[in-house]
Amino acid sequence: MSTAKVRRHIGGYELGRTIGEGTFAKVRFARNSETGEAVAIKILDKEKVLKNKMVEQIKREVATMKLIKHPHVVCLYEVMASKTRIFLVLEFVKGGELFDKIVNHGRMREDEARKYFQQLINAIDYCHSRGVYHRDLKPENLLLDEYGNLKVSDFGLSALSQQVRADGLLHTTCGTPNYVAPEVLNDKGYDGTTADLWSCGVILFVLLAGYLPFEDDNVLTLYKKISFAEFACPSWISSGATKLITRMLDPNPMTRITVSELLEDGWFKKGYKPPVFDEKCDTNLDDVDAVFEDSEEHHVTEKTEQPAALNAFDLISMSKGLKLGSLFDTEQEFKRETRFTSKSPASEIISKIEAAAKPLGYDVQKKNYKMKLENMKAGRKGNLNVTTEVFQVAPSLHMVEVRKAKGDTLEFHKFYKTLSTSLKDVVWKSEED
């Protein structure tokens, strides 16, 4: 696909495109240089980790995650570090987010929703039994593999700054507000198990209804609805599912349904087949301590050359069902990322994006062939942050990926529509078009 050989390597892995971004970390697609196995690498800034006094918590939770081998939890393979960053090598899940499935296809039939919900409960029950709590469960953190099975991502790693106090409770308010339990919002401490179950109840409602049970543009009104569990199940949801959702969305964590009670629920048990897997595995935890050592012997090498060149392997990983045509379609599905191709030089593409974004009120930060655009005006879910990266597909052809890093997905699509209008002279179209 390309004659260019410039790539970026971290230890024994060849890095590709960014597939996710958050406050503390960025996730890159990668492959093992020797075996060709696809993985996802979560990259943490070591300075931020030290500044926020998160070292011991990360070491504890990463060590726990390495011991968790469950078919419905994304597997952590390896931990590495350079002088400035920490790298978590994770299982690469090909099927995308459950969020996209809901947005693109709407509410699910009860049998389909029940299958995903059973897999979710089985996964969190397993992890809770090992002292690992998610604290940010939502459809965006639930991935689907190539067989349509659910995989929980960021289990135990999504809320790195939280600490358990002497009372045995967590005290940091976090997560996506629409999915957060009322006790998390009142700042009096909460139990990770019951808080996760509330979030699972919201997820089940979304799967069956196709919309959120608690939603309001006013944050205070939203919190009030959550605190008093002000919601109503639509008429098409069966009585069994409605009863279960009501018990999960109980604003009192002391009377909320427990996992053991949920496993005996009639609606839940229908067709339930817990996964059979081998829990016994020889896991080496030496690398968990080593990542925080200052000794050079524990540091992996980083080789950075830009722009990155995409080969056939990368293109296949970016498409669903190996259909490469969807990569370059002008009308893509409702997603948190989109792409276009251009025959213009990479430097010209960067300049054009910057020129188009600034008049829209975006602060622009550039680094090599990557950009971060931040809207200075807050939207429905805070400031919209957008990242862009230019990849070389062939010597005279580039692919530009535009991704929402933070903020509201609808606002992102409105921004991209405006941006694409300003980039008409840059976007490549075939002779047929």
Q: Is residue 150 predicted with pLDDT exceeding 90?
A: yes
| Arithmetic mean of pLDDT over the chain | 79
Contact by Cβ (8 Å): 21, 404: no
Spell out the residues 6+ positions from residue 203 whose beta carbon is closer than 8 angstroms to its own.
Answer: 117, 120, 137, 138, 139, 142, 179
Determine the pLDDT at residue 234: 95
Omega of the bond prior to 307 within 30 degrees of 0, cis? yes
Mean pLDDT on 237-252: 96
Q: Is residue 403 predicted with pLDDT exceeding 50?
A: yes
**Catalytic site residue 363?**
no
Q: Is residue 235 predicted with pLDDT exceeding 50?
A: yes
Percent above pLDDT 70 for the chain: 77
**Higher local confidence (pLDDT), 357 or 208:** 208
How far apart (Å, rounded) are the C-alpha atoms in residues 54 and 3?
43
pLDDT tens, residue by residue, 40-71: 998 888 888 778 777 777 777 787 777 788 89
Determine the pLDDT at residue 231: 94
At residue 206 the predicted structure's pLDDT band, cuts being 50, 70 and 90, is very high
Q: Is 42 annotated among the ligand-binding residues? A: yes
Spell out the residues 6+ positions from residue 254 whose beta carbon is closer than 8 angstroms to its own.
Answer: none
Determine the pLDDT at residue 213: 95
Beta strands in 46-161 (DSSP E): 76-81, 85-91, 142-144, 150-152
**In this structure, how many other beta carbons lie within 10 angstroms of the beta carbon of residue 218?**
9
Contact by Cβ (8 Å): 55, 292: yes
Domain 1-92: CATH superfamily, name plus number = Phosphorylase Kinase; domain 1 (3.30.200.20)
Mean pLDDT on 148-174: 55
Spell out the residues 6+ positions from residue 190 whose beta carbon is closer than 8 angstroms to its own.
Answer: 169, 170, 171, 181, 183, 184, 253
Determine the pLDDT at residue 120: 96
**Higher local confidence (pLDDT), 8 or 270:** 270
Domain positions in the chain: 1-92, 98-269, 306-424
Determine the pLDDT at residue 64: 74
**H/E element, 186:** none
At residue 158 the predicted structure's pLDDT band, cuts being 50, 70 and 90, is very low
Architecture of domain 98-269: Orthogonal Bundle (1.10)
How far apart (Å, rounded) are the C-alpha atoms in residues 326 and 323?
6
**H/E element, 21:** strand 13-21
Determine the pLDDT at residue 273: 87
| Amino acid symbol at 276 | V
Choose the CATH number for 306-424 among 3.40.50.2300, 3.10.580.10, 3.30.310.80, 1.10.3720.10: 3.30.310.80
Tokens, residue 83 = 């002088």
Q: Is residue 269 predicted with pLDDT exceeding 70?
A: yes
| Amino acid symbol at 54 | M
Residue 185, judged by CB atoms within 10 A of its CB (0-12, 13-18, 19+), counts as: middle
Q: Across the strands, what pairs with 87? A: 43, 80
Beta strands 85-91 and 142-144, pairing class: unpaired
Q: Is residue 325 predicted with pLDDT exceeding 80?
A: no
pLDDT tens, residue by residue, 119-139: 999 999 998 888 788 878 888
Contact by Cβ (8 Å): 92, 38: yes
167 Cα distance to chain centroid: 31
Cα end-to-end distance, the chain, whole Å: 22
Contact by Cβ (8 Å): 58, 49: yes
As a 3-state breakdown, the chain gives helix, strand, coil percent values, each rounded to 5, of 35, 25, 40
At residue 219 the predicted structure's pLDDT band, cuts being 50, 70 and 90, is confident
| Amino acid symbol at 121 | I
**In this structure, how many other beta carbons lie within 10 angstroms of the beta carbon of residue 50?**
11
Determine the pLDDT at residue 280: 58
0.85 surpassed by pTM: no
Kindly name the residue from 100, 125, 136, 196 that is annotated as catalytic: 136
